[in-house]
């Protein structure tokens, strides 16, 4: 019965690792989704924002909505 107990513990550990790995993968996939698209920096306050939300004020320069 000692071997059976070891197998059960191994299966439980395997499941735990799988659940943690799935959670980490889902989290990083969501982060990639959040940062999809080009990010630019406001030339006045230095905040990062998506290029779509920024106003282009020159070649490679952007401003956020606050200015």
Stretches 4-12, 19-27, 33-41, 44-52: which one binds Zn ion (CB under 5 A)? 44-52
For residues 36 and 51, is the Cβ–Cβ distance under 8 A? no
The answer to whether residue 54 forms part of the interface with Zn ion (CB under 5 A) is no
DSSP secondary structure code for residue 55 in this structure:
E
The answer to whether residue 45 forms part of the interface with Zn ion (CB under 5 A) is yes
For residues 58 and 64, is the Cβ–Cβ distance under 8 A? no
Among 40, 54, 62, 64, binds Zn ion (CB under 5 A): 64
Applying CB under 5 A, which residues contact Zn ion?
42, 44-45, 64
């Amino acid at each position: 019965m000692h071997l059976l107990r070891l197998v059960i513990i191994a299966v439980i550990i395997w499941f735990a690792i799988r659940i943690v790995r799935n959670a980490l993968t889902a989290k990083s996939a969501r982060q990639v989704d959040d940062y999809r698209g080009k990010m630019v920096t406001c030339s006045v306050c230095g905040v990062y924002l998506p290029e779509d939300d920024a106003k282009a004020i020159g070649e490679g320069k952007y401003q956020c909505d606050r200015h």
